[in-house]
Structure 1
């Protein structure tokens, strides 16, 4: 039973890239929590801005509602920090909020964005914040003068264009048993409905890779991740 924490730059990132992992953790008796640093109201809500007379506050309200509903579908808790987007800025106060969330939730696995993304200015900022918060929350794995947690596994989820973001998948997760939950969560985001097909197809592509690697022929949908830290085993 795993405790999974996902740090998402915008309200919907967690659904496209780690929705299956979240649903699977919950289905297996674990807990999941999503932290959205922003709602993506400025740069991630193009469909909403096509409506005449649209306002920033209304878009933000819609995006927050979508994010909370999607997290609910997946069985996860949701925290929105509302830091704004394009550009996303994580100041010291927000960083310590994130540290407190890590310490209180004490995840077994932490997932966030890649440190490089030439098409999105906010994703690397989210990575930097999550990485710094992880180090502070775990005390770099040694005794400290402040409250710390056992270092969680640290994964990066797949960016939209992985080959341009330095993403090297070294972990494939079979999400076949929870695929319908992920699909339902993706469909909550009417503000980015065009991405549902893209990430549905991506799940099939990664399942093909997972089948070839593992020989498990029943994998129909998968998500790809990159482990940042080495795996530590106590038995072979």
Structure 2
């Protein structure tokens, strides 16, 4: 995949170590394939509430669950061609302390993202996702502040895109971007297949991608678009003409 374009920086802030795979794996792989710097911040391993496939095994313990979740997420990130950082803040509930926020702010100032991906603001099924969303916006705000660590350089007006939740109609999710990920869906599929702790989600998100692909075609995408991911912008897009 070759394009004449300036490489960008993409950062995803996710609650659990599998979230970036299911909900934005195609977008992340597409950006990486285009030469963008792509970084995923996993706030937790999802070891308590997102690892049913592991806890159902006899003799399972917390240390093993965390290790497996980390290994699977690293393998998935490698399949997508992206960098992943683990903060190990715990889940169910996810709690982000001041020091954790400072660490994320530093990461944002280092990465200087053009786009920040995260969860929706209101997911009644999983409040960890709400926490991750609030954390992404809060750290973006702090990273923009000139008076925060004046020795550093503030970031600009990074666009924020919310990726699709598991039950969008309950979360107030209204997509305004359908992204064609057909060229890299093989990478997303490979990444999904290594996530054994949540293997039941593979076909769900494969089928969801097909449905979003149909919707993309109905909205003017070429006939070759098969797999798509849906996103909702938090901030307006600035342009010089109506589209």
Give the superposition deviation at 1:189.
0.2
Q: Which of 153, 165, 178 is the equivalent residue of 2:159?
A: 153
2:228 corresponding residue in structure 1: 222
> 4+ residue runs of structure 1 moved beyond 2 angstroms?
143-147
Q: Which of 198, 204, 224 is the equivalent residue of 1:192?
A: 198
User: Which consecutive unaligned segments of at least 5 residues does structure 2 have?
Assistant: 1-6
1:64 corresponding residue in structure 2: 70
Q: TM-score, normalised by structure 2?
A: 0.93
Give the superposition deviation at 1:2.
2.1
Give the superposition deviation at 1:151.
1.9
Residue deviations 1:20-59 (CA, integer Å, cap 9, x gap): 0000001111111000000000000001001111100110
1:162 corresponding residue in structure 2: 168
Structure-2 separation of matches of 1:62 and 1:195: 17
Q: TM-score, normalised by structure 1?
A: 0.96
Q: Which of 82, 85, 91 is the equivalent residue of 2:88?
A: 82
Residue deviations 1:69-119 (CA, integer Å, cap 9, x gap): 111111111100000000000010101111111000111100000110111
Alignment of 1:98-177 (within 5 A): 98-139=104-145, 144=147, 146=150, 147-177=153-183
Q: What SS does structure 1 have at the residue aligned with 2:219? A: helix
Structure-1 separation of matches of 2:10 and 2:140: 13
Structure-2 separation of matches of 1:215 and 1:67: 31
Q: What SS does structure 2 have at the residue aligned with 1:70? A: helix
Give the superposition deviation at 1:218.
1.2
User: Which consecutive unaligned segments of at least 5 residues does structure 1 have?
Assistant: none
Structure-1 separation of matches of 2:159 and 2:134: 16
> Is 2:23 the partner of 1:17?
yes
Q: What SS does structure 2 have at the residue aligned with 1:181? A: helix
The alignment's C-alpha RMSD in Å is 1.1
Structure-1 separation of matches of 2:70 and 2:51: 11
